[in-house]
Structure 1
Amino acid sequence: MSTSQRVAIIAGGSRGIGRETSQRLAAEGYAVVVNYASNKDDADATIATITANGGNAIAVQADVADENSVAALFDAAEREFGGVDVVVNAAGIMPVSPLVDLDLEVLDRVLRTNLRGTFVVDQQAARRVRAGGAIINFSSSISRFARPGYSAYAASKGGVEAITLILARELRGRDVTVNVVAPGPIATELFYQGKDEQTLKRMAAEPPLERIGTPQEIADVVVFLAGPARWINGQVIYANGGAI
């Protein structure tokens, strides 16, 4: 599939998996809109890398949970590049705490960013993505691992999966696919935060491949779903090295 005129918005596209996805889609010929929440330096660094390699990209600040902010994000993409073909929801937060100790304000923040944020971005995507396009959300294999300490995060991602599967069916006749990628442990700043060496070694040993995954490997899945994978729709793709 030619991507010479295709345009991608990556929510949370300035760091971790989102940044790698932004760079990969740009390398595939997409015009890329890198969304960031507050860290303009990271966004500018991502854009600099893309443009240095011959890509076409802009950075746009937006709070993914705010409908007006997200509408403005899509407006910017359409104004700059003429439309939107692919939307990737990579924005998210992952505080870790036993359920019994979790501050409910933290729960509200997780649900606002991860669940409401996906809903708000998907709402605009459903209205604007052109025929032949793709909406790609992010869940997590933690919903299958049932690892202690991740109740809030897993709850938010379970909701993301429900939104994805229903939206795929609601877009019947539009020629727009809607899927969710559910990574296992991936070598990002978000994943390493708060984990000691023993915990990291134990988690790396869980998959049959016996290692932590890389952002590049998840970006490979996103690129596949964004373009050639037209017969994959309404699915949860677990990318965790076979850990479960």
Structure 2
Amino acid sequence: MAHTIAVAGKGGVGKTTLTGLLIEYLCQKKQGPVLAVDADANSNLNEVLGVEVEATLGEIREEIAQAEISNTNPIPLGMSKQDYAEMKFSSALVEEDDYDLLVMGHTQGKGCYCFVNGLLTAQISKYAQNYKYVVVDNEAGMEHISRGILPKVDTIILVSDCSRRGVQAVGRIAKLIPECGLKPNTVGLIVNRAPGGVLNEGTKEEIEKQGLTLLGVVPQDEQVFEFDCDGVPTVKLPEDSPVRKALYGIMGKLDLS
């Protein structure tokens, strides 16, 4: 079974940027193959990685579920709904040299999704058997994991900015972990966009108050902002980028076996 790494944090803290660099780290260390899962409806992991996505699992799930309650049926004659769903889910897999990417897309709308969610769960579980690592860019509430659609989680990386309120938000996310029935081996915090890579005492106090384990600090880097504005994939940051070097140092200390 693949080692599953879930990255979670509120929007706007650079979670997706760090997830993309984490995937790049595993690929550079020849720890692949890696399955990257974009499970945040508001994130753009594919843009960080520099790949195009033609279909999301959410769109496919919606199409199949709506076919149940409408007069339009996209399933070809002679093909079962299960075979059609598996074919469509497979077509959503973006294949790269060292990793593959699945985008979950939007959450479900009205109607019953039990059948198609069951198929999706089975499909992702089948995918996970073919990879050494599964890296999941989550929404703050980790909804896909809590619904059981994604596999078990071995490592959870919480990402916050360097503000006290940001750390408090991550503390609330951390409390969701046992509520979701998760029992990860490692749960830790990365503080992102810290000026000069240094935390002030107030932030340190809040981390301790929230009972969080600090994995490391990633500095503020204007080059990340410039890449984003210019539409350049973040994974193309130079090797001497402070952000890349800091994150790689953190990952090198984690037991991801």
The bucket for the TM-score relative to the shorter chain is 0.3 to 0.5
Larger radius of gyration: 2
TM-score of the aligned structures, taking structure 1 as reference length: 0.47
Structure with higher RCO (Cα < 8 A, 6+ apart): 2
